[in-house]
Homo-oligomer: A and B are copies of this chain.
Amino acid sequence: MTLDSIAIILFNEFETLDVMGPVEVFGRLDNCKINFISPSGLPMTSSQGVTLETIRVDKPRYKHILIPGGQGTRPLSQDDRYIQWLMKQFEFADTVISVCTGSALIAKTPLLNGLRATTNKLAYDWVTSLNKKILWQPSARWVHDGKFYTSSGISAGIDMSLQIVNDFYGLNIATDIAIKMEYIWNQNPKHDPFEKVII
């Protein structure tokens, strides 16, 4: 299986680095096309003022999907029609990746029920309150269970993305990308310096 394309779901008030960390990692692969998508096809603006065009998607067509976090997840978690759209996209995909509070929006579907997952540690109480059937991990930089990869806050998405490259293409390619990014890769998903925030 190859990461020939990744669809990144955008909404207003997404968190910039939740998206751009993974874009930097996956964008360094040969032939990995990154698509920004939404149900409306409108441009979306991050909480830090970055505006990106999106492709309108109704019927699911992407096998690898990433959903970022950010303030925008709060109203969307109450939007049933949006959650139904997400549910269709996630059901169709082979790989579903969340960064930060993106996991809140997956948690509004039943797809993570019974599986292990994690989320932003500063928003931990809110996200975990949305679905008690998920085996939430309070100390994890990221978690891989089933077809889901869920990471902790913002920067953890970079560590997780490198792990995903490792899982698809091996350690040499992942390490090469980390070195070219001059990124101090935390390769151990159990090393979570931010767990203390909630303990």
Assembly CA distance A122 to B193 (angstroms): 29
Q: Which of A46-54, A78-86, A126-134, A165-173 participates in binding chain B? A: A46-54
**What's the dominant secondary structure at chain A's contact region?**
loop
Quick check: B181 and A197 within 8 Å, CB to CB? no
What B residues does A147 contact at CB under 8 A?
none
How near does chain B come to A34, taking the closest CB pair, in angstroms? Answer: 5
Residue A39, interface by CB 8 Å: no
Binary B-proximity of A82-115 (CB < 8 A = 1, otherwise 0):
0000000000000000000000000000000000
| A interface residues, Cβ below 8 angstroms from B | 15-17, 20-21, 23-24, 26-28, 33-34, 46-53, 120-122, 152-156, 158, 179-184, 186, 193-194, 197
Can you name 10 A-B residue pairings with CB atoms under 8 Å?
A27-B47, A34-B48, A34-B49, A122-B179, A153-B180, A153-B182, A154-B182, A179-B194, A182-B194, A184-B184
